[in-house]
Structure 1
């Protein structure tokens, strides 16, 4: 995959995090748009993580223990340092009274989604965005085992089974309870997006062509999802709320998958040039930090309202401009001085051992096992390339 196409995936991360910032800094009722941005992150993560694991598995030097060890260590190097730095800062400053909530141990264990679901409220709100990070971490614990240890022919079926179970959870919700945070924050409410991205990665091993039903359905699904996203009647019945939830969560899945799939091949259009542009690529590289820091920044700028000439205490342009600029600055500094140096240690943990090539008998050329590939231009290059210059699946959040 070329660097330019990797940059387009970075550009998609910029779009996803921009939707979150718009929702939390500007929109009067931003939960839907922010959640859609998170859904795009989920599809991206499922696709890129699965693609990387499949490439490792296809390498002639592949060993399950080596690949699993590399995956978990590389994920820890990318995710843990800024995440736990934020938790430490929030605890030290006692931002928004977080110490009194007793939630930090849940966040530290990546169980924030269960914390908020069990309580039915977004308290403490300054860490409420970590629900999605918890779901991704729960996904990362289990998914490499499925991809690296199960028979290759079963991986596509596993993806379909996960998607089916998640959709069944959504369709059966009216029989199980009234709308609540539990509905959205349990892993079953998000695994469909992650598994759709993973299914895309397995499908792309065989062909780049889209199935006919996807090519015919994506535009009607975009239209239906748009109606659901904008439909907010008052009062709203439980049945209508469920329909809107299905429309805004499930209908966008196929368009989001096709968006990620097309960007992975490279849009040959003005949109592709936009995604590849330097500002979009640079913002995408630090999107994890942007997502992680933005509620902290929001809390701090609201406290500093007396020294800020525009209104940041309420949703609107002032909050969007000041909050976004401050978040970008903090995320860029964090990436350059903190995250990127630690990220460089990932080169010591390749998915396939570089010095583990099979040794042929004297005088005989070595041949890889049937169907195996040596990914010198993908896995090896990712391990040695500057981690700040291109998308790496293990960097995604």
Structure 2
């Protein structure tokens, strides 16, 4: 789950308000997919976009602040600041959510607490072969944390060229194929392993590297976003109709890199308007700023809601109605937005202010 990563110090990364709108749409797609379980993999559209966004932001920070291993000057101190800023932004809200989940209680948290505290829950889910109750989405957070550790080393040895980053992109597809067909045939959750997500992270890095190129700016139109996602959906439909689900699991992250990158590219080049001119955009920005809190709690709440429905309503008909998509959304959307608001006001925003005081030194 990507979070805002605006650099501090003498060379800050510019705030892009359009990306908050992308976060808002992305998190709502994730919620819609996880709460309603449609046939079409709508939640994957949101999760892929967040991974590409992580690659974009983290690569920008590493290059701009020169925090990669072996950078000129005191790179060790800058790298330490980078890790401290990342941990400050992501871990405290996550640990508070874990406490809430443990109080529910969620069985997976009680049975395997250390896998979440570290966090390496993606490894846990891979070995279990299934997602944990109410905490299955934390695999993406674990993958992000592992990406933060890896990427300053990877960019130290990779030339800053699109062709080299494209090789990293292809390595994600190659890893999924090699692991899923040779190393561990039939393993159901190969994507939960961090190397499986390298194509999406690399796509974000490629966008960060090339975003000011004229040919990239010419692609910053919504029609290309629509064409990209329609093409991705067409691939899904063709494979779904042919019952090629394993091939889809292998291809969809790599195929989704292009439409996700086109979406971010379009958002990056939108003009910034005052709030009075576009209230809908301001609402999306509000949701996008709090998307991390929404992400942390959105799968716990359905577990709580289901238990409440089973306790209150004795008949199967009543339970079936109240667990339907509309009643679920009616009750849970205000709750998840309220928890995200509280997380932002009392935890994330104060942590961000403290984090931004940790300035990178000039190289």
| TM-score bracket relative to the smaller structure | 0.7 to 0.9
1:11 paired to 2:21:
yes
Deviation of 1:221 after TM superposition, in Å, equals 4.9
Deviation of 1:289 after TM superposition, in Å, equals 0.6
Single out whichever of 316-325 and 240-249 deviates more from structure 2. Answer: 240-249
Distance 1:220 1:318, change over 3 A: same
Q: Tell me the matched-pair count.
A: 340
Note the residue ranges of structure 1 that are not aligned, 5 or more in a row: 357-397
Q: Deviations over 1:281-321 (max 9, x none)?
A: 01000101100111122222223336699978534111123
- Aligned equivalents of 1:312 and 1:189: distance in 2? 38
Choose 1 or 2 for highest CA Rg: 1
- Aligned equivalents of 1:189 and 1:294: distance in 2? 24
Correspondence for 2:336: 327
Q: CA RMSD in A?
A: 3.6
Q: Judge conservation of contact 2:225–2:266 (CA < 8 Å) in 1.
A: no
- TM-score normalized with structure 2 length: 0.80
- TM-score normalized with structure 1 length: 0.74
Q: Judge conservation of contact 1:197–1:257 (CA < 8 Å) in 2.
A: yes
Correspondence for 2:195: 188
1:22 paired to 2:32:
yes
Where does 1:228-239 land on structure 2 (aligned, <5 Å)? 228-230=235-237, 236=243
Deviation of 1:39 after TM superposition, in Å, equals 0.6
Correspondence for 2:57: 48
Where does 1:208-357 land on structure 2 (aligned, <5 Å)? 208-210=214-216, 221-230=228-237, 236=243, 240-266=244-270, 277-305=281-309, 314-352=323-361
Q: Judge conservation of contact 1:116–1:181 (CA < 8 Å) in 2.
A: no
1:168 paired to 2:174:
yes
Q: Deviations over 1:57-100 (max 9, x none)?
A: 39x99742232122111111111111111222323x25232355
Correspondence for 1:362: none
- Aligned equivalents of 1:166 and 1:233: distance in 2? 22
Q: Of the candidates 115, 119, 129, which is equivalent to residue 120 of structure 1?
A: 129
Deviation of 1:242 after TM superposition, in Å, equals 2.8
Note the residue ranges of structure 2 that are not aligned, 5 or more in a row: 1-5, 7-11
Correspondence for 1:75: 86
Q: Judge conservation of contact 1:9–1:275 (CA < 8 Å) in 2.
A: no
